[in-house]
Structure 1
């Protein structure tokens, strides 16, 4: 034990890494967490999405915000950055998947997943402070309920389960979740800017629960440190090298050793690191299945926008996601909002084009719609008060489609690329999303007395879907031929190396995956013994 700097190094501080940090500290391990992003106090978050330095993540350009954007040939990815990972900019939404997820062929038969994860879902809900049904009703909630009725699926409408401290709006109180051991909290003001970063202190980010409790138990969290290498050591253990995030010249490289390493940098970060370490020989026995079964949650982001702010409808008031319904048995639709002033993401929106046609036809449809009514399209596309004029429709499916990620050399550097993978082709558009967006637009018109229209996204015009839930690629499997980790989340071929984040998820859950990632992490860490039992530590 004394020959390592740490017992465990955790790469990343999102839903998987935060669970690992707390549970391992509770079991007596010396734990260090590396996070590429910065640490945020409540007042550090951007007031609106136009504050690019505090909102977007582009460290080499001096932007150290919470919103990452990555692009592959087959998908554009929205992800999180900072101490607390995706919890800083996610929509507080904590659904549990249906039975189809637990019965996916990739992991069916390895364990009785639905029953085995049940107590861990309960723990995750308690830790994340889940309110099972969003408690407020406003115009957006009525519009979504009406759209579901119009589509003949009114019975599937429900209020979202969310991780928010509602309390008394704007009122500060001592920790209401952990007997005073956690940080003080402030009641939600329904400002709508959950995904820009909660400046109120109402959002149950990981810094309000797992990470706060982990630090009180001695866990060290180093922010703005990007892990550049994880190398297997002769005789066991690992050397973990980090550098300053976004550094152009003085990288400040440092190396520590650890007996065990937990990779929890999110699907993009963990896959990228494993691909590079396998290619360099630092982790030579990582399974050749790496990159397979990368999932996008079969997702689309469309919506409805009005030509003017419907003054009778306060569309921007509330938390980010409040309701949902099912268009069919595998397609789930949620409303999404940004608060007043946070209009930057509206730049991704454009007219809705027929996704089942080629690029030329899609571009032709876009041009025709603009030329047919240029003034109307200008008003719809104008970013001024965009968040107050529209409703984003986040559409997710349990469909069995996937991508396969690999490395390719570009301009002398190895970068990740994608190809269609197992199952159905990863969709470039979802007809169900167009149907839902049109129904929502009609209800906005009826409720608000203003003209509204269903909208798509620029990436969709070019055949590239958007996803906020990038998953898989280092999935749970029965053997190294079929995946990267076993059902205890241990990397095949590399004892002491673990993957505990979204890249372990083997199937499309069809709902927001944060609760599932947390529950899987709770299960995985429950099998680790106390640190005194060195002869029983997880190994292969």
Structure 2
């Protein structure tokens, strides 16, 4: 049933899906399908027409959503995916789909008038962010009172804008976080399935040791070693063979051109090239872009009605629609899925949702920091934008930390070692409904990040002491600040597995309503979470199709 997507020859299904994506981009369509438009007698290719009914709707096109759509399509279930962002595969006037990090334009950001990169300054100078025209760009920074969250916008969700680090969590910690999930099944079956479908690969260690593009990582490895800390290579969905071609001048540059947070033009196996292409290739899945679901309600017969706003890429709402379905899968991410359910519960649209909806949110212990190296220990003017190495101190009994050795591809020597630390922070936030704004707002305070900051400080203090170095205080805005604890890349929780849902993502209190994304994971997983989200979605949808979908057909 499941395709071997590690085969270098694209499957027929993926070829069909990739052709559909390409055709939609060329024609400027917001509807993406590999099947002809359905007739009254053939409902194989659903569309987001107002008043229409489809068997299954998936909200979002991120990791959990993409898994669900593919497996539903393989099972023969006509499935409609609703994505609030746009399709990113049509080159702009400069010949590129995405803009670069050093010269961002409107493609970079989701309806912002100025970019909001994680590094706010360099030498306290405002030289990183740029004024831009508001547009349906690829990266959003969602602001709450004391925390902001980076999310991807577009077909492929976060896979478009992340660093691609495909890390499987330590089994002992996975068992601690999700004790109700059979870990043996996950590590023997679903993690390997996810890695194969995501096209995870590994860097050539010999090339890593020789290339100038990872000097920054080797410098950090040496300095960690002086503090008695070990490092580990990290697999990725970026094609490392393509990267070697970039370095050799035989392939177009992307990772070696400083592209990552605003999208990679080449080399990256984002979801639109893997799961989503295969889903479209089943002929049963349609993606509608620039369609934002604003509300959900249940009808007397148990089906669901979605209120949907269709917009253009400049943000103008061009249509209000209502679409109904039998099976509804929420894959809009920790923020999006949680907000839809919190709003539905507290407005009375889905009153049987329990009090656990909105609870258990966390930033995966994300803390960013930078260190200043000695002038005789440069990190390199040329740096790959794709991380390949991490400091692994997760077995530390008092302050577990897994720290990505992050690049700072400025195109010049900075003497900066940059890190994204993932810590074991037990603090959790919650989402509550604000009637005045019709939004779910996050209750989270900076004080709740103190355990994460202390854990990161413990590790990097040791590195600084061993190397007689110090922190950089100029990278995260105009204030003196050595740890960035007010934003995160890895939002998790809000609809926790086994609390807001049953053990397979079925939402408590309702039939045929499911959560299939990072909202299921209670705030922390110890590593970059997308492989875990993907594998958990594979596990859950297998059971749901067998017991709910096929049983109802």
TM-score range, shorter chain: 0.7 to 0.9
Question: Which residue of the partner structure matches residue 403 of structure 1?
Answer: 429
1:179-201: per-residue Cα shift (whole Å, max 9, x none)? xxxxxx9797633422221112x
TM-score, normalised with respect to structure 1 = 0.77
Residue among 355, 372, 375 paired with 1:288: 355
Give the CA deviation at 1:98. Answer: 1.1
| 1:432 Cα offset (Å) | 3.8
1:496 alignment partner, one of 512, 530, 547: 512
* Counterpart selection for 1:119 from 186, 189, 192: 189
- Seen in structure 2, the aligned counterparts of structure 1 residues 335 and 259 have a Cα distance that, compared at 3 Å, is same
Is residue 516 of structure 1 aligned with residue 532 of structure 2?
A: yes
Matched, 1:163 2:189: no
Aligned partner of 1:9 in structure 2 is: 57
Which residue of 253, 256, 268 corresponds with 2:320? Answer: 253
Structure 1 residues 316, 8: closer, same or farther in 2, change over 3 A?
farther
Report the CA distance between 1:111 and its aligned residue. 3.4
Query: Can you list the C-alpha shifts for 1:312-338, whole angstroms capped at 9, x where unaligned?
Result: 642542242111113452211111225
Partner of 1:234 in structure 2? Answer: 300
Please give the alpha-carbon distance, in whole angstroms, between the structure 1 residues aligned to 2:495 and 2:518.
9
When residues 314 and 441 of structure 1 are mapped into structure 2, their CA distance, relative to the original with a 3 A threshold, is farther
Contact preservation (8 Å) 1:292, 1:405: yes
Measured in 1, the distance between the counterparts of 2:328 and 2:480 equals 38
1:417 maps to what in 2? 442
CA contact (8 A) 1:164 1:203 kept: yes
Q: Give the one of 234, 237, 244 matched to 2:310.
A: 244
Cα distance between partner residues in 2 of 1:204 and 1:292: 33
Q: Deviations over 1:334-382 (max 9, x none)?
A: 11225446xxxxxxxxxxxxxxxxxxxxxxxxxxxxxxxxxxxxxxxxx
Shift of 1:29: 0.6
| 1:214-270: CA deviation from partner (whole Å, max 9, x where unpaired) | 112121111111111121111111112211347766441112111111000011111
1:529 partner SS? helix
Deviates more, 1:66-75 or 1:202-211: 66-75
Contact persistence 2:334–2:494 (CA under 8 A):
yes
Unaligned runs of 5+ residues in structure 1 are 173-184, 342-384, 478-482
List per-residue Cα deviations over 1:424-470 (Å, max 9, x = no partner).
94437513434555677789999xxxx98466634995995321101
Q: Does 2:68 align with 1:20?
A: yes
Secondary structure of 2:257's match? coil
Per-residue deviation, residues 380-424 of structure 1 (Å, max 9, x unmatched): xxxxx69x55332100123322112212345x5444131469xx9
C-alpha change, 1:228 and 1:413, in structure 2 (3 Å) is closer
Report if the CA contact (8 A) 1:94-1:515 is conserved.
yes
- Cα distance change on mapping 1:142 and 1:520 into 2, 3 Å: same
CA contact (8 A) 2:72 2:545 kept: no
How many angstroms apart in 1 are the aligned matches of 2:370 and 2:488? 14
CA distance in 1, matches of 2:276, 2:106: 24
Give the CA RMSD over aligned residues. 3.5
CA distance in 1, matches of 2:321, 2:372: 49
Shift of 1:474: 0.2
Deviation, structure 1 residue 495: 0.5
In 2, Cα distance between the equivalents of 1:62 and 1:279?
31
Aligned length: 463
Matched residue, 2:104: 51
Matches within 5 A, 1:221-370: 221-245=287-311, 250-304=317-371, 313-327=379-393, 329=396, 330-340=400-410
- 3-state DSSP of counterpart to 1:518: helix
Q: 1:116 to 1:94 in 2, by over 3 A?
A: closer
Q: Which residue matches 2:80?
A: 32
1:10–1:134 CA distance, 2 compared to 1 (3 A)? farther
- Taking a change above 3 Å as real, the CA distance of residues 208 and 331 of structure 1, as seen in their structure-2 partners, is same
What runs of 5+ residues in structure 2 fail to find an aligned partner? 1-41, 44-50, 114-132
- How many angstroms does 1:488 deviate by? 1.4
**How far apart, in 1, do the equivalents of 2:420 and 2:548 lie?**
46
